[in-house]
Amino acid sequence: MSEEDVVSPEQQAEDSTVRKELEKRLSNGLQTEIEPRAYSHEEILELVARLQDLSEADYDSMMVIAGFTIKPYGEEDDEQACETCMYYKVHRKFCELPELMLPVEPEWSCRLWRI
């Protein structure tokens, strides 16, 4: 674990609270923009620009625009899940995409997934 992965107990507790809140919203049927996926440079830039317009605590809009799902997206042999995304910090269970910066579960997914 690198030094930058170490978070304080207070931060862990806060992450956990936010993660549970996000999970509740997803479980309660928040409709997110799962498709089209953002594969091209232009599609990614468009999504990022929309996310940049949001306030830091506008979790619903973040999850809607990013197309969050509570399960991995795609087929079993071609799955997109946070745990395999380049933005995922394993030990903190955290998404470090600058426009998101959210605590997430490893099996969640979004359309900004990158390997």
Name the site residues for ligand SF4 (rule: CB under 6 A). 82, 85, 87-88, 95, 97, 100, 104, 108-110, 112-113
Q: At closest approach, how far in Å is the CB of 66 from ligand SF4?
A: 6
Report the residue number, 59 or 88, with the smaller CB distance to ligand SF4: 88
User: Nearest distance from residue 73's CB to ligand SF4, in Å?
Assistant: 8
DSSP state of 96: -
Tell me the backbone φ, ψ of residue 80, rounded to 5 degrees. -110, 110
What is the distance between the terminal CA atoms of the chain, rounded to a whole angstrom? 20
Using the minimum distance from each CB to ligand SF4, give the nearer residue, 77 or 81: 81
Nearer to ligand SF4 by Cβ, of 65 and 95: the residue is 95
Rounded to a whole number of angstroms, the minimum distance from the CB of residue 55 to ligand SF4 is 18
H or E segment and range at residue 103: strand 102-103
The three-state secondary structure class of 11 is helix
